[in-house]
Amino acid sequence: MIVFMALIELKNIKKTYTLGETQIQALRGINLQLHEGEFAALIGTSGSGKSTLLHILGTIDDPDEGSFTMGDQNVLSLSENEKSYLRNKKIGFIFQSFHLVPVLNIYENVELPLLIQSHLSKKERHERILQSIENVGLKDFLHHPPNKLSGGQRQRVAIARALVTHPSLILADEPTANLDSATTHKIVDLLMELNTMMKVTFLFCTHDEKLMSRVQRQIRIQDGVII
Ligand code: ADP
Ligand code: MG
């Protein structure tokens, strides 16, 4: 029997945006636990609050109210420095539009998050980068620039970059929204394989109902609450 530990716990998370005179309640009291090694999909229509929730989980943005723990840490009480340390060490991001650096080749793109991790030797860094690129099936493309790759391949590079730091949590914000359906399925397969292989917790957000049946745990969000 596998016993999952709660890696993350959100309680009553609220977030309101102010646009001129208008208040938009993007999150209206989110309660959520994510367990170690889990692969979960956050599903909701456009505007339901998925990205806002991912930004809070990724410590890119703060909620107005609520509590957020990761392991035994109270994330909302951390200083900006502590948060950026946590973000770099423990959290990997994958975005819809890949966010690769066009002037860097594939190897250099994947290397980026390691450049601020001083505890790794040059050799360890090199090995991690190669392993990470190999894990996503792109070892023949090390010296290619991103614009020589297809959309699916670019997303694989972004996945390798997110995993190269060996994070505990991967947050993927509609990672397949710019891909055709065959490529989408390959990317989802790859994410699930990596989840099993690396024991990383994945929260994958999508508005694509077709992907749902494939995912272990489905979390539905509507108008800023989990239903
Ligand atoms: P999703 O990712 O599910 O499409 P979002 O989290 O982006 O949803 O948005 C939730 C709600 O908050 C929407 O109504 C959106 O328009 C609003 N919103 C998101 N970001 C901002 C922002 N920076 N300023 C104002 N409103 C925002
Ligand atoms: Mg979004």
- Mention every residue, 6+ apart, whose C-beta is less than 8 A from residue 9: 32, 33, 67, 68, 69
pLDDT, one tens digit per residue, over 137-184 is 999 999 999 999 999 999 999 999 999 999 999 999 999 999 999 999
CA 44 to ligand 1: nearest atom: 3
| Residue with CA at minimum distance from ligand 1 atom 22 | 17
The fraction of the chain above a pLDDT of 90, given in percent, is 87
Instruction: Give the helix ranges, DSSP H, for 9-136.
Output: 50-57, 80-90, 106-111, 122-135
Q: Is the CB of 4 under 6 A from ligand 1?
A: no
The alpha carbon of 150 and the centre of ligand 2 are apart by a number of angstroms equal to 23
Task: Give the pLDDT of residue 4.
Answer: 54
The alpha carbon of 141 and the centre of ligand 2 are apart by a number of angstroms equal to 30
| SS3 call for 93 | strand
106 pLDDT above the threshold of 70: yes
The alpha carbon of 167 and the centre of ligand 1 are apart by a number of angstroms equal to 26
The alpha carbon of 55 and the centre of ligand 2 are apart by a number of angstroms equal to 10
Task: Give the pLDDT of residue 1.
Answer: 47
CA 207 to ligand 1: nearest atom: 3
pLDDT, one tens digit per residue, over 115-126 is 988 789 999 999
Could you give the CA distance from residue 186 to residue 189 in angstroms, rounded to a whole number? 5
| Residue with CA at minimum distance from ligand 1 atom 12 | 26
The alpha carbon of 60 and the centre of ligand 2 are apart by a number of angstroms equal to 14
Q: Is the CB of 15 under 6 A from ligand 1?
A: no
Residues around the ion ligand 2 (C-beta < 5 A): 50-51
Of 14, 16, 24, best ligand 1 pocket probe by most atoms within 8 Å of the beta carbon: 24
105-108 contact pairs (CB < 8 A, 24+): 105/142, 105/143, 105/144, 105/145, 106/133, 106/138, 106/141, 106/142, 106/143, 106/144, 106/145, 106/146, 106/149, 106/157, 107/133, 107/142, 107/143
* Helix 181-198 with 151-163: angle, nearest 10 deg: 20
Mean model confidence pLDDT for the chain: 93
pLDDT, one tens digit per residue, over 175-214 is 999 999 999 999 999 999 999 999 899 999 998 877 777 8
The alpha carbon of 63 and the centre of ligand 2 are apart by a number of angstroms equal to 16
